[in-house]
Amino acid sequence: MQNFMEPKRVALIGISRRSGAGSFNLMENMRAFGFGGEIFPVNPNADRILGQRAYANVKEIKKEIDLAVISSPRETTLDILKDCIAAKIKAAIVVNQGFNDADRLGREMQQEMAEIARQDGIRILGPNTLGVINGFNNFTTSFMPVVKDRTPVGLICQSGIHFVGPQMFSGRFGKAIDLGNACDVGFYDALAYFGQDPEIKIIAIHMEGLNQGKDFLSLAASVVKDKPIVVHKSGSSKTGARAAVSHTGSIAGDYRLLRAALKQAGVTFLDEGGQMPHAMKTLLNLPLMRGNRVGVITYSGGAGIMVSDGLEKHNLQLAAFSEETIDQLAALSPQWLPLTNPLDIWPAVMLHSARRAYSVALKAVLNDPNVDGVICIALAPLPEFSFLDVSETLNTVMDEFPTRKPVIVWTYGPNTVEVQKRFESRNRIMVYSTLELATWALSLLRDRYKAIYRDRKS
């Protein structure tokens, strides 16, 4: 994979003579992304492309090329691959559609492509792929514009949609590999690369169909001890599976069997693709949860009820607070207030101040030996009511507090976007848009704790 992710010299075969907006010129895009290596454009119909000498054939370059990126009509692709082999190129990305994703002729051509890769010592990524992104060394082969980022997330996918709209799927990521139709390079290869990559701390995978299944599962079981692996498998339905065949030619396989096998390997498996960015942020930033017992601190009794529903759904439970915790809150609350979990601190807020009440409550709950994780429900007020904003207060408690328990916040009010940013500013507390998501996020931390430590116990 190193040739794909960290090349020094790249040949762009079938690169367009057009440039500027709307041309999707890969060479232009690659330069704009900051690639510092050498680029060799190959196009038999041009002498110069973007001011650089263009070659008629990759064999004319006469330098050691690490990677060829091929964007040319499907009819020409197999011959170009043979030229690459003649030029001793060890890695090629085939961008174009029209293979297993298309008709019978396309399937035959992909079959031949796979054989070339098996026999001739070249590794092929694709076809039907945007290739790779490596934000850590400013390299991408995507002809669609992509965002540069160095978040330690490695993404493995089969559709360019994940490159173009990352915030809808994986959230931010620093490196990505689009397997496309996966004629050769597959999930195992990509996982092996990210598994040993010190710049990557967590791995997000969107698969349509799993190739290299057995090897992948045993590798995943090993990688997951160090780095969380989060998988969403699309094509879970009958109609979705049929659509997957037409998209990348994937055989979607039995969804339930695959889910069971991945969970068994310790992988975090998502039922909905939209959960991915939330899962990544949770597992990247929060400590694991050692048990099921959740303490809830709330400004609102109504929200306390909703959070209870969410906890039960995810097999979590309301912690039974210790007497010490209750006593500390009782000292701030009116006598008639029933102090249980969820802990309604609004009366204490009205009697004292939001910051004092929340600070006392969070410290008490974090100190409570009966609590494994905490959900805080708080207002996101407009600036003129900033005395009700406890983001700074809670972050300070987290900084001072020695033990590691996950703390999750849910906010409501007119200023949620801004206040959520403040809560997350130190990466100690994470915020979720619904209480359902908040409770689900805690369950991921509990599940991962269980998955990692179950073997050590026995």
Map the footprint of a copy of itself across residues 27-66, applying CB under 8 A.
none
Residue numbers 386-445 binding a copy of itself by CB under 8 A: 387, 411-414, 416, 433-437
Do 163 and 271 form a contact (C-beta atoms < 8 A)? no
3 or 170: CB nearest a copy of itself: 170
Binding to a copy of itself by residue 172, rule CB under 8 A?
A: no
Sheet holding 139-140, edge to edge: 139-140, 132-134, 175-178, 153-157, 202-207, 229-233, 268-270
Q: How far is the CB of 11 from a copy of itself (least distance, A)?
A: 23
Neighbours of 416 (CB within 10 A): 15
Q: How many CA atoms lie within 13 A of 82 on its CB side?
A: 4
Amino acid, single-letter form, for residue 299: Y
Q: Which C-beta is closer to a copy of itself: that of 52 or that of 237?
A: 237
Q: What CA–CA distance (Å, rounded) separates 272 from 405?
A: 27
Q: Which residues contact 34 (CB under 8 A, 6 or more apart)?
A: 138, 148
Which span (165-173, 186-194, 216-224, 394-402) binds a copy of itself, by CB under 8 A?
Answer: 165-173
Decide if 230 contacts 203 (C-beta within 8 A). yes
Q: How many whole angstroms separate alpha carbon 105 and alpha carbon 43? A: 25
CB of residue 153 to a copy of itself, shortest distance in Å: 17
Sign of the four-CA dihedral 112, 113, 116, 118: negative
* Binding residues for a copy of itself restricted to 321-380, rule: CB under 8 A: 334, 336-338, 340, 342, 344, 347, 379-380
Contact call for residues 186 and 156 (beta carbons, < 8 A):
no
Interface residues for a copy of itself in 176-215 (CB under 8 A)? 206, 208
Residue 410 pairs in a beta bridge with: 377
State yes or no: residue 237 binds a copy of itself (CB under 8 A). yes
Least CB distance from residue 386 to a copy of itself, whole Å?
Answer: 9
- By C-beta, is 151 or 158 nearer to a copy of itself? 158
Over the window 268 to 287, marking each residue x when it contacts a copy of itself by CB under 8 A and - when it does not, the resulting string is ----xxx-------------
Q: Which residues contact 79 (CB under 8 A, 6 or more apart)?
A: none
The nearer residue to a copy of itself, 2 or 246, going by C-beta atoms, is 246
Token output for 272: 């909905």
Q: Which amino acid is at 173?
A: F
- Alpha helices by DSSP H, 178-331: 187-195, 213-223, 238-248, 255-264, 276-285, 301-313, 323-330
Looking at the Cβ atoms of 150 and 313, the one nearer to a copy of itself is: 313
Interface characters, 99-138, with a copy of itself (x: CB under 8 A): --xxx-xx--------------------------------
| b/e map 33-70, b = 16+ CB within 10 Å | bebeeebbbbbeebeebbeeebbeebbebeeebbbbbb
Which residue's CB is nearer to a copy of itself, number 41 or number 106? 106
Q: Which of 174, 188, 173 is nearest to 223 (CA)?
A: 188
CA 192 vs. chain centroid, Å, equals: 17
385 forms part of the interface with a copy of itself (CB under 8 A) = yes
Distance of alpha carbon 130 from alpha carbon 29, whole angstroms: 12
Query: Residue from 46, 50, 243, 326 that binds a copy of itself (CB under 8 A)?
Result: 243
Stretch that binds a copy of itself, among 11-19, 55-63, 311-319, 441-449 (CB under 8 A): 311-319
Q: In whole angstroms, how close is the CB of 301 to a copy of itself at the nearest point? A: 3
Residue of 67, 157, 205, 221 interacting with a copy of itself (CB under 8 A): 157
Interface size with a copy of itself, residues (CB under 8 A): 81
Query: 7 or 277, CB closer to a copy of itself?
Result: 277
Residue number, 61 or 374, with CB nearest to a copy of itself = 374
Residue closer to a copy of itself by CB (options 424, 436) is 436
302 binds a copy of itself (CB under 8 A): yes
> Smaller CB distance to a copy of itself: residue 304 or 373?
304
Q: Which stretch, 47-55, 80-88, 381-389, 450-458, contacts a copy of itself (CB under 8 A)? A: 381-389
Q: Whole-number minimum distance, CB 346 to a copy of itself, in Å?
A: 8
